[in-house]
Amino acid sequence: MWKDALLQIMISLLPVFGFQMWFNRPDRSRGIPIFMGGLCLLAMLLGVLISRDSFEGYQIDFQMVPFVLGSLYGGFAVALLLSVIYLAVQAFLITNFWEYIEFLSFLLLAMPLIFIAVHRFKLLGRSGKQKLAVGLGGLLVLLNHGILALQLSGEGRAWDEQFIAFLVFSFIGFMLLIWIAVILIESVIEKQQLQDQLQRMSTNYRNEVQKLQQFIDMIPMGVVIVDAGGEVTHLNEAALQVMGSSLNGIRRQELVGRSIAKISDTFMKETAGKLLFEALNGEDTASSIVETGSRTYINTGFGVRDLQSQDIIGAALIVHDITEISHLRDEFGRMERLSLVGQMAASITHEIRNPMAVIRGFIQLMKERSPEHHRDYYRIVMDELDRANAIINDFLSLAQNRIVHKEKSSLNHIVRELVQLLWADANLRGQTIEIELDETLPMLEINEKEIKQLILNLARNGMEAMGNNGVLVLRTRLQPNMIQLQVADSGCGIPKEKMERLFEPFYTTKTRGTGLGLPLCLSIVERHQGKIAVDSDEGEGTVFTVSFQIS
């Protein structure tokens, strides 16, 4: 009797223990409804077989416990399957009228309640699931006991103490079993969810630590991090290079986990070590600039505090190499001074032109009144004055950073206007000029005066590089998104070692050159948002290519 009751209790709780074993698997989230459905079906069928035994003439029936658990945790499909199999078994076991009434009651009353409960069960929390499961079990027990009470009344049997004890025992036992089962299952689920959450947090923490370590390793600054006891937790290669002289050849892997004070007494006596020690003692963030040989560093030490207690839990030292920044600062200062000198030189040069114009006028007057054999001397003086004036004009054009006025113009038209002037120079030198113009060129936003100066400078440079019978080619052509102007000569070419300095002011390869022509050309091109390139082979000639973007 009691052994049969205990056996039914164990069979009723079989799905709970099976669920706990299943949920400990790595891929536990897969197949839970099928597993619970199959296990609860087995427990239900075993319960049906055992419940055929009687207790003082009354059947002890806990077979509905796995049915309720399987339906609630298995979902709608499992609930439907269990209901169909349960009805099929009960239909096979019907022997009298009251069992037939019990069958119809389950079909018409219990099944709708079960499906409603299955839908709501998934939306509830732990306590809500317990209440719903116990409530559903209570309704099923009341339905079963109500039919049993009607059966006894119909057979004329009285409600004796044994019957009342049976009702109380089966009702309390059924409710208690469902309550315990739901608590155990929810505890397993909650435990696994906490483990999953802990694992995710651990993975996220590990990923963040790895990203932080990789970030520290990649930044171009030396970083040393120590814990509250002064033991190194991380440092990068940049820090190792800076500290190399005081580490006595210790490798990076050997430093992690060791006390920084015990690793190197020399380091702790240096500025960086003192900053780190002060940060560990809770002092405010401090920085110091240190010069080592030809390098300049800025060292910053700061303490790492717990966000809640604000206790010092470590310290960090950042070493930033600012040598290049210092050089740039010095270079910037030098450029400012040179710019000021250039502005002063431009102002002085501008003022020199006026007295030079007066001197040239008086020399020209003296030339006309002087004897014939003295006029060559005056001509030489005037040529040199003109040459000095041309240098002054080029220098002023290069020094002035002015905004040019641009208009829609044709590059081909400008070239044609300059051809006659260039032909005159070429004839005096015994040279030839060839013109190759692309008639499909669109209009450009340019300053005609500056573009003429650009073409004249490049063309005359080419003429000066050629001897007699040289050929100078002026070419325009349309390229994708740009217009190109090419000035090609058949001269001696430019040596490779001089190519890099062509556009430096005052650098020249000519005996009487000023070194301002090509820098002036570059300045004009840049004011037109263009580019200039040089292609030269010694003994074959030089090609200057100017490219203008088409707006």
Instruction: Answer yes or no: do 413 and 382 share one domain.
Output: no
- What is the distance between the alpha carbons of residues 77 and 38, in angstroms, rounded to a whole number? 12
What pLDDT score was predicted for residue 56? 45
Q: Report the SS3 class of residue 157.
A: coil
Quick check: is 211 in a domain? no
Beta-strand (E) ranges in 347-453?
407-409, 432-436, 444-446
- What is the distance between the alpha carbons of residues 526 and 231, in angstroms, rounded to a whole number? 57
Instruction: Answer yes or no: do 16 and 154 share one domain.
Output: yes
Burial (Cβ within 10 Å: 0-12, 13-18, ≥19) of residue 152: middle
Backbone torsions φ then ψ of 280, nearest 5 degrees? -65, -30
CATH code of the domain containing 293: 3.30.450.20
Last residue within a domain, chosen from 305, 321, 337: 321
What pLDDT score was predicted for residue 485? 92
Instruction: Answer yes or no: do 88 and 157 share one domain.
Output: yes
Give which of 238, 237, 232, 276 is closest to 254, Cα–Cα: 232
What pLDDT score was predicted for residue 349? 61
Q: Report the SS3 class of residue 124.
A: coil
What pLDDT score was predicted for residue 507? 66
Beta bridge partners of 176: none
How many domains would you assign to the chain?
4
- Beta-carbon contacts of 514 under 8 Å, excluding residues fewer than 6 positions away, are 390, 391, 394, 506, 508
Quick check: is 292 in a domain? yes
- What is the distance between the alpha carbons of residues 187 and 380, in angstroms, rounded to a whole number? 111
What pLDDT score was predicted for residue 250? 67
What pLDDT score was predicted for residue 53? 44
Instruction: Answer yes or no: do 237 and 91 share one domain.
Output: no
Last residue within a domain, chosen from 321, 340, 366: 321
- What is the distance between the alpha carbons of residues 130 and 68, in angstroms, rounded to a whole number? 12
Instruction: Answer yes or no: do 426 and 544 share one domain.
Output: yes
Quick check: is 358 in a domain? yes
Instruction: Answer yes or no: do 177 and 90 share one domain.
Output: yes
- What is the distance between the alpha carbons of residues 159 and 146, in angstroms, rounded to a whole number? 13
Quick check: is 436 in a domain? yes
Instruction: Answer yes or no: do 161 and 15 share one domain.
Output: yes
Instruction: Answer yes or no: do 394 and 456 share one domain.
Output: no
- What is the distance between the alpha carbons of residues 69 and 185, in angstroms, rounded to a whole number? 10
What pLDDT score was predicted for residue 469? 83
Q: Report the SS3 class of residue 530.
A: coil
Instruction: Answer yes or no: do 364 and 511 share one domain.
Output: no
What pLDDT score was predicted for residue 54? 44
Last residue within a domain, chosen from 354, 379, 399: 399
Instruction: Answer yes or no: do 89 and 161 share one domain.
Output: yes
What pLDDT score was predicted for residue 545? 92
What pLDDT score was predicted for residue 514? 64
Side chain identity at 536, as an amino acid letter?
S
CATH code of the domain containing 508: 3.30.565.10
Quick check: is 208 in a domain? no
Instruction: Answer yes or no: do 8 and 70 share one domain.
Output: yes
What pLDDT score was predicted for residue 249? 62
Q: Are 269 and 350 a contacting pair, CB within 8 Å?
A: no
DSSP assignments along 241-304, one per residue: HHHHHHHTT--HHHHTTSBHHHH-HHHHHSHHHHHHHHHHTTPPPEEEEEEETTEEEEEEEEEE
Reading the chain (551 residues) residue by residue, the pLDDT tens digits are 556 666 666 767 677 777 666 666 665 556 666 767 677 777 777 766 666 544 444 555 677 778 787 788 777 787 788 788 877 877 777 777 777 777 788 778 878 888 888 888 878 888 888 888 888 887 887 777 677 777 667 666 666 676 677 677 777 877 888 888 888 877 877 887 787 788 888 888 888 888 888 888 888 888 888 888 888 888 887 777 766 655 656 677 777 777 777 766 667 677 777 887 888 887 877 888 887 777 788 888 888 888 888 888 888 888 888 878 877 887 777 666 655 655 665 666 656 666 777 777 777 777 777 777 777 777 777 766 776 776 666 666 655 555 667 888 889 999 888 888 888 888 888 889 899 998 888 988 888 888 888 888 888 888 888 888 888 999 999 988 899 999 999 888 888 878 777 777 766 766 566 667 788 888 888 888 889 998 888 888 899 999 998 87
Q: Are 411 and 441 a contacting pair, CB within 8 Å?
A: yes
Task: Return the H-helix or E-strand segment holding 6.
Answer: helix 2-12
Instruction: Answer yes or no: do 501 and 515 share one domain.
Output: yes
Give which of 66, 70, 63 is closest to 121, Cα–Cα: 70
Quick check: is 22 in a domain? yes
What pLDDT score was predicted for residue 28? 58
Q: Are 419 and 378 a contacting pair, CB within 8 Å?
A: no
Side chain identity at 327, as an amino acid letter?
H
- What is the distance between the alpha carbons of residues 396 and 452, in angstroms, rounded to a whole number? 17
Quick check: is 206 in a domain? no
State the residue range of the domain holding 474: 407-549
Quick check: is 202 in a domain? no
